[in-house]
Amino acid sequence: MTPNIKDDGEWRVSGISRNYPSYRQHRPITSESWLEGKNVDDEAEGLWRINDTLYDLSDFAARHPGGSSWIECTRGTDITEPFESHHIEERARGMLGKFEVRKAARPRNYKFTIEENGFYMTLKRRVREKLRQIDYSPTKKTEFLHLGILVSVFLFSWAGTVLDSLIFKGLAGLSLCWVATSTHNYFHQRDNWRMYTFNLTMMNFRNWRISHALSHHVYANSLHDLEMSMFEPFLCWIPDRHYASKAQRLISVLISPVVYVVLFQGQFLIRLVLSLTKRNLLRWDDLIGFSLPIFIYLSTGVGLFSALLSWEIIISVGSFIFGLIGLTAAHHDPRILHDGDAQRQDFDWGLYQVDTIIDRGDIKWSDLLVLTHFGEHALHHLFPTLDHGVLKHLYPELRKTMKEFDVELREINHWSHIKGQNQQLLRIEKNPIPPGSKKLK
């Protein structure tokens, strides 16, 4: 395990764990290095850890209903919270005894609790009962919306190139962004063909299953959140002068639009450089990203340079919109809990998720906007494998449980999130008042 780090006479610590995350000690930070760091920190002894028990899931990986990759990539790590949030029914828990090896030698690194009478498990039981009354399989409407958006990418790309129209190229970029945000609904779920469409952006769903589903969704807004760490030193949301000075934070606000533009291709280039210089990180499905420029070239009759230029415009527009939507979706605002801020005494994992989110109340009226703008965010974090079209049916259970535990579901509009995200980038002072205080609402 990596001990906490001392800098300028002060200790750098994470509020949700006993030890400073090992992966942050090395650059570049990648999905692979994050998993390697967890292997060091999680005391899982090369097995799979759930609470204080170690399991050997090696032989089960190929039979895992969600796909073998979820099991294979988490070997040697603590999967307590993903296990609970990805399995709403109790069947998976009933199978665990078959794979138990022994008790872990040391306590968990993470401070989270998932007690039977706590907030999360109380809500989970109610959601389980509600889902038995409704159809919560991936909804046909969500599938229709995703397919329509996917087709739009190619139609608008073709029209924008043939007509040399920036308007149609811009619409193609918006559609490409929406492919990424709507496909996010699917790579949380069991393996399916739709998750591969995410790779049209030049990013890769395999990396995002790690950085988003296993890291951000579990450890949101903390030093363990890979989706925050990967942006450093360009963008830093941790309210601490050790991670970014006032001058650096001001620069972050100014350059954030540039960061948005290079998100898509930048992630591919990082994987490519590391594959050429260290070890191969590329997979066969990375080739999917090149299907769009090939389609543009072969279907429009324009020259190679014109086809590539058109694609570059489309992917840059899509990347910018994706960055703008994604980084202002729910998590970054001075009123939202970030690592270093005062926390509740109750470390219930579900309460922590609620404390790191302010939902968008301005898009709940539209299934399309919810799907493409990371809507119903609190419920999605709590139950990530559920289709976005189902989440809206769970608000009675959520509100009832929140009332019992004296928790508030906060909501603001997108413009407020945009302002809040910039304010968070500039914030250095830690919030001394724990979530739930009226001064932070």
Q: What is the CATH number of the domain that holds 89?
A: 3.10.120.10
Residue 264 in domain = yes
- Give the residue among 172, 186, 190, 174 at the shortest CA–CA distance from 143: 186
Average of per-residue pLDDT across 306-311: 98
pLDDT tens digits, residue range 257-276? 999 999 999 999 999 999 99
Tokens of 28: 């570049």
183 and 302 in a common domain: yes
Spatial separation of the C-alpha atoms in residues 296 and 277, rounded to whole Å: 31
Task: Give the Å distances, CA to CA, from 180 to 157, 173, 296, 297, 414.
Answer: 16, 11, 19, 22, 19
Q: Does the pLDDT at position 351 exceed 60?
A: yes
Question: Among all chains, which residue has been given the structure tokens 């990396």?
Answer: 207
Best-predicted range by mean pLDDT among 1-15, 130-144, 228-242?
A: 228-242
> 99 and 143: one domain?
no
Whether residue 40 is contained in a domain is answered as: yes
Q: Are the CB atoms for 178 and 372 separated by under 8 Å?
A: yes
Q: Tell me whether residue 343 is in a domain.
A: no
**For residues 390-394, average pLDDT:** 94
**Predicted confidence band of residue 415 (pLDDT cuts 50, 70, 90):** very high
Q: What is the CA radius of gyration of the chain?
A: 22
Domain assignment of residue 420, yes or no: no
> Residue 136 has what pLDDT?
62
- Residues 188, 258 within the same domain: yes
Instruction: Say yes or no to pLDDT of 25 above 60.
Output: yes
Strand partners, 11: 6
Range of the structural domain that residue 145 is part of: 137-204+245-327
When pLDDT is cut at 50, 70 and 90, the band that residue 5 belongs to is low
Element (H, E) at 103: strand 100-103
Helix 291-300 × helix 304-327 angle, to 10°? 140
169 & 266 share domain: yes
What mean pLDDT value characterizes the chain? 93
CB of 112 closer than 8 Å to CB of 18: no
Query: Residue 143 domain-assigned?
Result: yes
Is residue 233 included in any domain, yes or no? no
pLDDT in tens, 41-54: 999 999 999 999 99
pLDDT of residue 108 exceeding 80: yes
Mean pLDDT value across residues 430-439:
81
Same domain, 148 and 96: no
User: Has residue 135 got a pLDDT over 90?
Assistant: no
CA distance 352 to 275: 36
Instruction: Report residue 204 as tokens.
Output: 């890769």
Do 181 and 260 fall within a single domain?
A: yes
State whether 94 and 160 are in the same domain: no
- Domain final position from 279, 299, 327: 327
Tell whether the model's pLDDT for residue 1 goes beyond 60. no
DSSP state for residue 432 in the 8-state scheme? -
| Boundary (domain end) residue, out of 111, 128, 156 | 111
- Please tell me the distance from the alpha carbon of residue 430 to that of residue 52, in angstroms, as a whole number: 32
In terms of domains, do 42 and 161 share one? no
Distance CA 338, CA 427 (A): 11
Asked if 92 and 145 sit in the same domain, the reply is no
Question: CB neighbours of 303 closer than 8 A, spacing ≥ 6?
Answer: none
Residue 139 has a pLDDT of: 80
Q: Is residue 341 part of a domain?
A: no
pLDDT of 182 strictly over 60: yes
- Provide the pLDDT for residue 27: 86
Other Cβ atoms closer than 10 A to 295: 17
Query: Rounded to the nearest 10 degrees, what angle do helices 304-327 and 166-187 cross at?
Result: 50
Instruction: Specify whether 189 is located in the same domain as 150.
Output: yes
Query: Tokens at residue 56, please?
Result: 């050997």
What is the pLDDT at residue 6? 47
User: Mean per-residue pLDDT for 111-138?
Assistant: 91
The pLDDT of residue 9 is 37
pLDDT in tens, 321-348: 999 999 999 999 999 999 999 999 999 9
8 A C-beta contact, residue 316 and residue 261: yes
Residue 438 pLDDT > 70: no
Domain check: are 166 and 35 in the same one?
no
Residues 32, 149, single domain; the answer is no
Cα(169)–Cα(314) distance, integer angstroms? 6
pLDDT category of residue 26 using cuts at 50, 70 and 90: confident
Pick the range with the lowest mean pLDDT from 67-71, 133-137, 213-217, 296-300. 133-137
C-alpha–C-alpha distance, residues 164 and 418, integer Å: 32
| Structure tokens that stand for 258 in this block | 């540039």
439 pLDDT more than 60: no
Q: What is the DSSP letter of 199?
A: G
3-class secondary structure, 51: coil
Residue that terminates a domain, selected from 77, 111, 145: 111
Best CA proximity match to 217, nearest among 356, 414, 417:
356
Task: Name the domain count of the chain.
Answer: 2
- Banded model confidence at residue 440, pLDDT cuts 50, 70, 90: very low
Task: Kindly tell me the sign of the dihedral angle through the C-alpha atoms of 208, 226, 336, 244.
Answer: negative
Q: Is residue 223 part of a domain?
A: no
